[in-house]
Amino acid sequence: MSSALLEVEDLSVSFPGRSGITRAVRNVSFTLGRERLGIVGESGSGKSTTGRALLGLIPRPGIVTARRMEFSGENLLAHTDAEWQRLRGRRMSMIMQDPKYSLNPVMKVGRQIGETCRLHLGSDSRDAKRRSLAMLEAVKIRDPEMVYHLYPHQLSGGMGQRAMIAMMLVAEPDFLIADEPTSALDVTVQNDVLRILDDLVRDRGMGLIFISHNLTVVSSFCDRVLIMYGGKIMEQCEARKLNEARHPYTRALIAAAPSLDEVKTELATVTRDPKWLA
């Protein structure tokens, strides 16, 4: 791992509500180099909220606090809206689960990708088109020229996901958050999308945070994994060694998943210890 791209110390996110304050993320600390860092956990574990906080996307009245949150030397905690605008889309970006909700349904795919170039790279329309087509090709779309002129609803799930990845990556960000990028996709398409992300980390030295609930995918794809529960990091480990993880919650998650390799007559259920959140 080279020098850290992102350093987070004691990040907390809370949302005040009628019944008191909900602490969605609690004192999370980690660093990210030019690597693939997985965050796994069940719904409500705070994994997506952590990702959003890193991009300054926690809406009011949510409160983000941290002792330190630095992105290649810049102090993110002090950033104004304008400074976030400069970073987001250009140097840091996010891929979401479902292309249906993150592509504009009334704008052709090519124009959406080109918009990023015009906005962040100052491209003229010719340069924007050239870059968009090259990016569509880079995400393994077979006929970029045709897809460029299609609307999102004319694409299949896998193609839509690739179009969105193209849009997020055309500005060549240094840091990408992929929030369940393959959960809505079929397994065979899933691996194509993972391969695209993998190439970006290897070839461009991008830092990737990969958020997922799927232990198999995370352990086979990522370098390191954080396991989250109730807004806290339960454990950090090397992804390849996820099966040797020690924390009872991680062990329980692994035991609860039916497996192709192991015959389990009864699946273990997860018992949660209140001490984990103490």
Kindly list the residues in this chain that would bind other proteins in the complex (CB under 8 A): 42-43, 157, 186-188, 190-191, 194-195, 198, 202, 213, 215-217, 219-221, 252-253, 256-261, 263-264, 266-270
CA distance 147 to 154: 9
User: How is residue 115 written in tokens?
Assistant: 């918009």
Q: Least distance in Å: CB of 174 to other proteins?
A: 22
Angle formed at CA 229 by CA 228 and CA 232, multiple of 5 degrees:
70
* Residue number with CB closer to other proteins (163 or 171): 163
Closest distance to other proteins from the beta carbon of 196 (Å): 11
Distance, in Å, from the CA atom of 166 to the CA atom of 95, rounded to the nearest integer, reads: 10
Q: CB nearer to other proteins: give 57 or 270.
A: 270
Instruction: Select 126 or 275, whichever has its Cβ closest to other proteins.
Output: 275
| Cβ distance to other proteins smaller for residue 90 or 100 | 100
Residue 211's contacts (CB-CB under 8 Å, 6 or more residues apart) are 38, 39, 40, 47, 48, 51, 177, 178, 179, 180
Q: Which is nearer to other proteins, 75 or 156 (CB)?
A: 156
Angle in degrees, CA 240, 242, 248, rounded to 5 = 170
DSSP code for 61? T
In whole angstroms, give the CA distance from residue 24 to residue 17. Answer: 12
Q: Which is nearer to other proteins, 21 or 267 (CB)?
A: 267
Q: How far is C-alpha 206 from the geometric centre of its chain's CA atoms?
A: 13
Under 8 Å between Cβ of 2 and 72: no
Shortest gap between Cβ of 227 and other proteins (angstroms)? 12
Place of tokens 């949302």: 15
CB 270 within 8 A of CB 256: yes
Supply the DSSP string of 164-209, one letter for each residue. Answer: HHHHHHTT--SEEEEESTTTTS-HHHHHHHHHHHHHHHHHH--EEE
Which is nearer to other proteins, 124 or 266 (by Cβ)? 266
Shortest reach from residue 221's CB to other proteins, in Å: 4
Q: At its nearest, how many Å lie between other proteins and the CB of residue 214?
A: 9
Find the shortest distance in angstroms from Cβ 188 to other proteins: 5
Q: How far is the CB of 31 from other proteins (least distance, A)?
A: 23
